[in-house]
Amino acid sequence: MSNPQIEEFSKQLINAVRDAAIRNCDNRLHPDARDPVSIRWKKAISEGNPEALARVMIPDIVDSTIAQLCRAIDQELLQLSFTASDGKSTNLPVDGDGELCGWYMGSDGWRSMYSKERFIDDFSDLK
């Protein structure tokens, strides 16, 4: 690609989002991992039902990937802006206060507010 800015964007996207998500998901399978996602996956694996396992893992993998995207924005690795339907633009790293990943993942965050697909609240015990 001839556009150097797009080239840099693509590298950041792959490194900070795709690769980070794969690395994070790989870590969930490690025997030492003790977070709720890891526990959920290991339990599903032990039950030996491939389709059920896939159904458990799909939303978690999607969430992990989007969380990496949000974090890349929070950390200003991806300095993205968003133009709303009213035509106004917002600088996501600045206006997001570095909290986009938390808003995405949190108990009463965006997933619980807007998602129409399955969502497990891993933080219900913290409220």
Partner 1 sequence: MNSPNYALAVSILFTRATSQRIMLGTEPGHVLSTSLLYNSLLHDSRFMQVPMSQAAPGDIIIEPTKNQADGYAGIVVDHGRIVSDSSTGVRNSSSLSEIERHVPPMVLFRYIGVQKYPGYTLASLANSGFNPDELRLPAGQPGGGQWTSGGAQSDGGGRRTAGLHGASDARQKPSNCGSKRAKSIFDRMQRWTNPDGSIIVKLPPDKGDTKDNDPKTAGQALGETGKSFWSGVLSQLHALIFQLKPEHDSSKPKSIGQIDKERNEEADGMDMTKPKGLGSAVAAGALITAGEALADGAAANAPKPKPSGLDATSEAKARVQANKDAYGGVDAQNMGKGQDNKASGTNSTEGDAATLKPYSDGGGHHVPAKKAFEGAPSYDPKSAPAIPNTELDNLKVNHDIVSGAQQTLYRAYAKTGKPLTWDAVQSIETQALVKGGMSQAAAEATVSKAISILKAAGVKQPTKIPWSDK
Q: Which residues bind partner 1 (CB under 8 A)?
A: 23-24, 27-28, 30, 32-40, 43, 63-64, 67-68, 71, 75, 97-99, 101-109, 122-127
- If the CB atoms of residues 1 and 126 are measured against partner 1, the closer one turns out to be 126
- If the CB atoms of residues 95 and 97 are measured against partner 1, the closer one turns out to be 97
Mapping DSSP onto H, E and C, the string for the chain reads CCCHHHHHHHHHHHHHHHHHHHHHHHHHCCCCCCCHHHHHHHHHHHHCCHHHHHHHHHHHHHHHHHHHHHHHHHCCCCCCEEECCCCCEEEHHHHCCCCHHHHHHCCCCHHHHHCCCCCCCCCHHHC
- If the CB atoms of residues 3 and 49 are measured against partner 1, the closer one turns out to be 49
Measured from the CB of residue 37, what is the shortest distance to partner 1 in angstroms? 6
